[in-house]
Amino acid sequence: MAEQNENKGAGAINNGAAVSGKPVAAAGGQAAGGGRAAAGGQPQEVWTIGRILKWTEGYFKKAGLDSPRLDAEVLLSYVLKKERIFLYVHFDQPMEAAELAAFKDCIKRRVQHQPVAYITGHKEFMGLEFKVTPATLIPRPDTEILVEAVLQRLKAGAEAENSLIADIGTGSGAICLSLLNYLPRLQAVTVDISPEALAVAEENAAGLELSERVEFLQGDMLEPLKAQGERFSGRLSAIVSNPPYIPRGDIAGLEPDVRAFEPMGALDGGEDGLDFYRRLLADGAGLLQADGFLAMEVGIHQAQQLKALAEAMPQWGRCEIIRDLAGIERVVVLWKK
């Protein structure tokens, strides 16, 4: 069904190109969203920005996408290389043929559930622009809760901003680069197992002019830090991580956008989803300063399990749990004892 719609849609848009001067409905039929038939000799209609947005919204809705209007606007502003507000001020502007062709390609990809951020190649996070590729998880708004929590705690710390933190499983670098951006004297070391993700994170660091304050290490969780012995042992003010945490059995039930397009190595947290937390809890305290903390994003129902794991370990003291905007326990902060 989606395939059918898509073909119709593609035809409709092609034939509606402003430059062709043909009415939209000539080949697209009703799917074109109100274009009048040429045969009857009615007035011709062109694809203006306003009209194409309306049509795309309806098409995305039919394809079962969650935020059809927003997706249409983000993709169209990407194609036109303009801010979203531009669309509203130029509702009546006709689309060029090349713009229509590029937008049609975006529509095709989106109805196959490719995430908008992989189509545009970037995502906003903490007010900053991050490049993303299919090798990196798309940074989530939930993760901003983790960043805010860490910012607050680092600012409140005696060392102010003059400290070193580690971001484990950095992906696009969203977490640690945001922290560095908002704390101008902070330094960071980041780890990811994926060289492709690290390459994107390095590009993001360069784009945000933060490269001088961040080091990128490829490897397995805390291993690259432990391997450097004295250099990191007992030195870190904080360890921050949004590790893969989806229980393996839940992966098949994820949204198609996530399941089919985001990197599995960024999602799969093992049998119960807690594999990576066990490792962070086992090795983290040794790398932290006396007043250091380990801050982690967690999945639904995992915060209390993590708290219980930490309570059974002598090296962890106070445990703070922070909820997200939906009221779900989303961040766990463990202080070294």
Which of ligand SAM, ligand GLN, none does residue 194 bind to, with CB < 5 to 8 Å depending on kind?
ligand SAM
Buried b (16+ CB within 10 A) or exposed e, 43-58: ebbbbbbebbbbbbbb
> How far, in Å, are 2, 78, 217 from residue 134 at the CA level?
23, 18, 20
Query: 64 or 134, CB closer to ligand SAM?
Result: 134
Q: Counting contacts by CB under 6 A, is residue 204 touching ligand SAM?
A: no
Shortest distance in whole angstroms from residue 270 CB to ligand GLN? 11
How far apart, in Å, are the Cα atoms of 307 and each of 144, 162, 248, 321, 332?
21, 29, 21, 9, 8
Partner interacting with residue 15 (select from ligand GLN, ligand SAM, none; CB below 5-8 Å by kind): none
User: Is residue 25 classed exposed, middle or buried when 0-12, 13-18 and 19+ CB atoms within 10 A define those classes?
Assistant: buried
Task: Pick the closer one to ligand GLN by CB: 147 or 246.
Answer: 246
Binders in 252-291 for ligand GLN, by CB under 6 A:
258, 267
And the tokens for 180?
């560095």
Residues 293-312 that bind ligand SAM (CB under 6 A): none
Distance from C-alpha of 293 to C-alpha of 312, rounded to nearest angstrom: 17
Residue 265 interacts with ligand SAM (CB under 6 A)?
yes
Binders of ligand SAM in range 153-182 (CB under 6 A): 169-172, 174-175
Q: Which of 200, 179, 197, 188 is nearest to 267 (CA)?
A: 197
Near ligand SAM in 225-264, by CB under 6 A: 242-244
Residues 291, 158 contacting (CB under 8 angstroms): yes
Site for ligand GLN in 9-48 (CB under 6 A): none
Interaction between residue 139 and ligand SAM (CB under 6 A): yes
Establish if 108 lies at the interface with ligand GLN (CB under 6 A): no
- The site for ligand SAM (CB under 6 A) is made up of 137, 139, 143, 169-172, 174-175, 191-194, 197, 220-221, 242-244, 265-266
